[in-house]
């Protein structure tokens, strides 16, 4: 295979038959941005970006070419879940073979029950794998190349199991991984290893883990792909984003860490406007604590705000979340250790006003005792807003409040839930927030909602002309 720039290929006045014959003769148009994949060696290759960039097809072309030309080539290709391999990686590899009329050079079966093993007539192989079962990773033996598709779905443990298998001396060793960036959040292990300047987790690498390892990074979006109608595909992406600028920025332009949510509950949350990292703690300002009471997790959000509510220079900073399966005593101890000299004010879920029969006091009274604050520092609501009213309140805040920020590093769950929160389509009521104990716990998000109700109802009511009922 002789890769040639797709930009020149499609700008050349050739008939479809002439193009077909050139491909059969060995020429292969490749999107310009992927030419380094074919021309430069790297031990680790990362192909990432938005949708439609042609990452998978470029990798398939590269693997098929190596399978035909290397004296020893044994590639394992796969995804996190083995059942997903057939409709993605395998189909793309087969397409790469067919478009270059190479069927006679390979043995494989497209039957739904086939092994998906692709064997070249020279004995080289491409073998599928999945990381959803430990024995499937342990079956990887003497590979030269491993391709992991949608690698953001793999865990760090999967990577630690896979990477050391690339040790054969019979051929060049390469790990090729591809993924879309919108599902990679600031605390993701991929950022910790390969993009440490973007990583915002609690456990940064203590040394350069990639020292002396050649790493190739290729970032591609749909407008880098000469094999599609870019204008038409852009319209499709806008439709797929359902009018969400956050989602469009992610799937079209490769923004990091954006959740697909076609019916967002918090539709005015904008990651570029509202998501910050390492917001400053202001020692001279009080710390406001808003609680949501569940066992898994028990959640509290700490925030600071200016007293001049709604002015141009006013602010609300959600600076820290505390959550997990813990008792009130442990939660309050962590809060006091984090802010030992701060003045606290407390609000949250009205259920905290219920009597705790074991101690004959409310949960909020227990919190006050543990934090060492007076009852006047408990600023509580008698009831929680209906979800429809809370939705108006929250979206009004994110639309109109001057400097409203969520710390993406110190509030990872809250920042994710702001993007992920969606309406419950099965509810008979409008604007009900979907909540379950699997993918939509929303405990930190609920804590934020209660804070807005306590402190910013009047601001939002004024901004929204009195639509919200107290």
Instruction: Convert the pLDDT of each residue in 47-69 to its tens digit.
Output: 999 999 999 999 999 999 999 99
- Band the pLDDT of 355: cuts 50, 70, 90: low
How many alpha carbons fall within 13 Å on the CB side of residue 13?
A: 0
Name the domain boundary from 182, 201, 224.
Answer: 224
Say yes or no: 448 and 305 in one domain: yes
Least confident of 86-95, 185-194, 450-459: 185-194
Using H for helix, E for strand and C for coil, what is the string for the chain?
CEEEEHHHHHCCCCCHHHHHHHHHHCEEEECHHHHHHHHCCCCEEEEEECCCCCHHHHHHHHHHHHHHHCCCCEEEEEECCHHHCHHHHHHHHHHHHHHCCCHHHEECCCCCCCCCCEEECCCCEEEEEECCCHHHHHCCCCCCEEEECCHHHCCHHHHHHHHHHCCCCCCCCEEEEEEEHHHCCCCCHHHHHHCCCCCCCCCCCCCCCCCCCCEEEEEECHHHCCCCCHHHHHHHHHHHCCCCHHHHHHHHHCCCCCCCCCCECCCCCCHHHHEECCCCCCCCCCEEEEEECCCCCEEEEEEEECCCCCCCCCCEEEEEEEEECCCHHHHHHHHHHHCCCCCEEEEECHHHHCEECCCCEEHHHHHHHHHCCCHHHECCCCCCCCHHHHHHHHHHHHHHCCCEEEECCCCHHHHHHHHHCEECCCCCCCCCECCCCCCCCCHHHHHHHHHHHHHHHHHHHHHCCCCCCC
Amino acid 278: pLDDT: 78
Question: Does residue 241 sit within a domain?
Answer: no
pTM higher than the cut 0.75: no
Q: CATH code at 389?
A: 3.30.420.280
Name the domain boundary from 224, 256, 284.
Answer: 224
Say yes or no: 217 and 287 in one domain: no
Say yes or no: 307 and 416 in one domain: yes
Instruction: Convert the pLDDT of each residue in 168-207 to its tens digit.
Output: 999 999 999 999 998 888 788 999 999 988 887 767 776 7
Question: Does residue 179 sit within a domain?
Answer: yes
Question: Does residue 240 sit within a domain?
Answer: no
Say yes or no: 302 and 163 in one domain: no
Q: CATH code at 173?
A: 3.40.50.300
Range of the domain at 309: 275-463
pLDDT at 470 over 50: no
Say yes or no: 32 and 104 in one domain: yes
Question: Does residue 408 sit within a domain?
Answer: yes
Say yes or no: 123 and 215 in one domain: yes
Domain count, the chain: 2
User: Considering the chain, what is the average pLDDT of its residues?
Assistant: 89
Name the domain boundary from 181, 207, 224.
Answer: 224
Burial 404-421 (b: 16+ CB within 10 A, else e): bbbbbbbbbbbbbbbbbb
Question: Does residue 102 sit within a domain?
Answer: yes
Question: Does residue 230 sit within a domain?
Answer: no
Say yes or no: 101 and 182 in one domain: yes
Using only C-alpha atoms, the chain has a radius of gyration, in whole angstroms, of: 27
Say yes or no: 152 and 14 in one domain: yes
Question: Does residue 302 sit within a domain?
Answer: yes
Say yes or no: 322 and 175 in one domain: no
pLDDT at 242 over 80: no
Instruction: Convert the pLDDT of each residue in 406-439 to its tens digit.
Output: 998 889 889 889 988 999 999 999 899 999 877 7
Question: Does residue 229 sit within a domain?
Answer: no
* Percent with pLDDT over 90 in the chain: 63
Say yes or no: 197 and 284 in one domain: no
Say yes or no: 281 and 361 in one domain: yes
Least confident of 19-23, 63-67, 389-393: 19-23
Instruction: Convert the pLDDT of each residue in 105-131 to its tens digit.
Output: 999 999 999 999 999 999 999 999 999
Say yes or no: 153 and 299 in one domain: no
pLDDT at 453 over 70: yes
């Amino acid at each position: 295979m002789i890769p040639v720039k797709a930009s020149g290929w499609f700008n050349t006045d050739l008939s479809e038959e002439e193009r077909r014959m050139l491909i059969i003769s060995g020429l292969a148009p490749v999107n310009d941005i992927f030419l380094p994949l074919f021309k430069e060696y790297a031990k680790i290759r990362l192909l990432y970006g938005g949708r439609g960039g042609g990452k998978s097809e470029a990798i398939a072309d590269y693997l098929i070419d190596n399978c035909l030309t290397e004296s020893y080539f044994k590639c394992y290709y796969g995804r996190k879940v083995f059942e997903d391999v057939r409709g993605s990686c395998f189909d793309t590899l087969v397409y790469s073979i067919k478009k270059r009329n190479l069927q006679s050079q390979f043995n494989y079966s497209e039957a739904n029950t086939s092994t998906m093993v692709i064997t070249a007539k020279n004995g080289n192989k491409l073998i599928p794998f999945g990381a959803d079962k430990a024995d499937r990773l342990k079956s990887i033996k003497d590979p030269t190349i491993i391709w992991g598709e949608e690698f953001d779905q793999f865990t760090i443990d999967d990577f630690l199991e896979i990477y050391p298998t690339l040790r054969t001396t019979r051929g060049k060793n390469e790990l090729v991984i591809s993924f879309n960036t919108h599902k990679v959040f600031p605390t993701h292990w991929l950022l910790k290893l390969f993009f440490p300047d973007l990583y915002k987790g609690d456990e940064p690498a203590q040394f350069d883990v990639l020292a002396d390892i050649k790493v190739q990074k290729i970032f591609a979006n749909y407008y880098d792909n000469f094999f599609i109608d870019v204008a038409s595909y852009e319209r499709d992406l806008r439709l797929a984003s359902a009018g969400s600028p956050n989602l469009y920025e992610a799937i079209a332009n490769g923004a990091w860490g954006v959740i697909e949510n076609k019916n967002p509950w918090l539709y005015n949350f904008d990651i570029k406007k509202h998501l910050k990292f390492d917001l400053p703690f202001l020692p001279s300002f009080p710390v406001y604590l808003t609680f949501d009471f569940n066992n898994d997790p028990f959640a509290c959000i700490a925030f600071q705000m200016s007293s001049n509510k709604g002015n141009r220079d006013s602010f609300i900073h959600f600076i820290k979340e505390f959550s997990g399966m813990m008792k009130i005593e442990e939660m309050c101890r962590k809060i006091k250790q984090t802010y030992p000299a701060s003045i606290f004010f407390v609000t949250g879920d009205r259920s905290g006003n219920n009597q705790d029969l074991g101690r004959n006091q409310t949960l909020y009274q227990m919190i006050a005792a543990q934090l060492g604050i007076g009852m006047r520092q408990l600023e509580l609501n008698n009831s929680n807003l209906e979800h429809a009213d809370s939705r108006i309140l929250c979206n009004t805040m994110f639309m109109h409040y001057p400097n409203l920020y969520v710390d993406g590093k110190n509030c990872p769950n809250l920042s994710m839930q702001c993007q992920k929160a969606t309406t419950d389509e099965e509810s008979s009521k409008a604007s009900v927030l979907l909540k379950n104990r699997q993918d939509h716990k929303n405990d930190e998000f609920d804590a934020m909602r209660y804070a807005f109700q306590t402190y910013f109802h009047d601001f939002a009511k004024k901004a929204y002309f009195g639509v919200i009922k107290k």
